[in-house]
Amino acid sequence: MKKSVMSIAFLVANVMLLLSACSSESSLLPSTTSSLPTTNTTTSSTGTSGSSSTTTTTANAITTLEIFKKVYGATEVYIEGNYAIIKANGLPDHKSPYYKDTQWATAKYEAYNGTNTKFALNPNRIVSQSYVFKIPINPAKASNSSATPAGPIGISLNGVPFYNQYAAMNAPLTNEVNGFDQYKGHPQQQGQYHYHVEPTYLTDQKGKDALLGFLLDGFPVYGPLEKGKTITNSDLDGYHGHSHATTEYPNGIYHYHITDADPYINGNGFYGTAGTVSK
Residues near Zn ion (CB under 5 A) are 226
Q: What is the DSSP string of 119-168?
A: ----S-------EEEEEESS--B-SS--PPPSS-SEEETTSPEE--SB-G
For Zn ion, give the closer residue by CB, 44 or 244: 244
For Zn ion, give the closer residue by CB, 83 or 163: 163
For Zn ion, give the closer residue by CB, 16 or 172: 172
Q: How far is the CB of 115 from Zn ion (least distance, A)?
A: 19
Instruction: Tell me which residue of 150, 278, 130, 277 sits closest to 218, measured CA to CA.
Output: 277
Q: How far is the CB of 15 from Zn ion (least distance, A)?
A: 37
H or E stretch at 22:
helix 15-28
d(CA 241, CA 141): 12
For Zn ion, give the closer residue by CB, 73 or 152: 152
For Zn ion, give the closer residue by CB, 226 or 262: 226
CA 48 centroid distance within chain? 22
How many degrees, rounded to 5, is the angle at CA 169 between CA 141 and CA 193? 75
d(CA 127, CA 90): 8
**Residue 118 buriedness (CB in 10 A; 0-12 / 13-18 / 19+):** exposed
For Zn ion, give the closer residue by CB, 189 or 278: 189
Q: How far is the CB of 236 from Zn ion (least distance, A)?
A: 8
Q: How far is the CB of 142 from Zn ion (least distance, A)?
A: 20
Q: How far is the CB of 134 from Zn ion (least distance, A)?
A: 23
Q: How far is the CB of 81 from Zn ion (least distance, A)?
A: 29
d(CA 221, CA 32): 16
d(CA 92, CA 55): 36
Closest residue to Zn ion in the complex (CB) = 226
